Amino acid sequence: MHQTSAKTYCLIPDLRADMLTADQVSWLHRLAQQYQVKRIKITANRQVALLGFPPALSQALQEELGSTKTAPHDHTCLKLVHACPGKDWCIYGQQDTQNMQQQLLDLRCPAPLPAKLKIGISGCPRCCASSWVRDIGLIGASGGWRLVFGGNGAGRPRIADTVAKGLSDDEAVKLLHRCLEFYISRATAKQRTARFIERLGIDVFKAAVLDRGQTDPNQE
């Protein structure tokens, strides 16, 4: 929670807003009315931000949300995993993005990440989760997942490089984990994947993370 002005506060509860159920929307509506929340914002990181409630109500709101104590950030977790609705909810979806998102949120890195890392999971080549400009992207197609690495959409934008394609769910998760292991072992502090790949080179990266039998059929 942080103060936005002399009279109001902003609180971001531990609630992912990629997909909200009707019950969750009703719960947020009740909180907004009860605690005089002026605005509810879905942030760029797919979180819910409660904006503009009075300072006098902050303690009670935090207690209801169970957020009175701030847990230390676990840098071995993948927190910024964004996904489009996927094949269960979109006519264009070709892969199950929601299941893949949960698998990646449950994944643990072998060591703390060197920098912020964003993952975009798109269920089809339309790429609604901006996978090409994320640190790691998964893009669904009828033949499986394409994994891309080294994208960035900030001040020095970069389109990610394809590492492999035609991957099953299990293959995609295992390859992504190998990418993370190599990135963690070789990146400098606070070096995002885009700058890491520019320094190292995509060919060196692919040689390190791909299985020998996987390299040739998946190259562009």
Cα 82 from Cα 42, distance rounded (Å): 13
What does the pLDDT read at residue 67?
A: 67
Measured in whole angstroms, the distance separating CA 58 from the mean position of its chain's CA atoms is: 28
Tokens describing residue 145: 């997942």
Number of H helices, E strands in the chain: 7, 9
What does the pLDDT read at residue 145?
A: 99
Cα 184 from Cα 164, distance rounded (Å): 20
Phi, psi (rounded to 5 degrees) for 48: -95, 125
Torsion of CA 67, 70, 76, 79, to 10 degrees: 40
What does the pLDDT read at residue 212?
A: 53
Class of domain 80-218: alpha beta
pLDDT along the chain (220 residues), means of 10: 60 78 93 93 84 90 74 75 95 97 94 96 97 98 98 96 98 98 97 98 97 50
What does the pLDDT read at residue 35?
A: 93
What does the pLDDT read at residue 65?
A: 85
CA proximity to 131, closest of 141, 140, 143, 122: 122
Predicted TM-score (pTM) of the model is 0.82
Domain boundaries of the chain, sorted by first residue: 2-65, 80-218
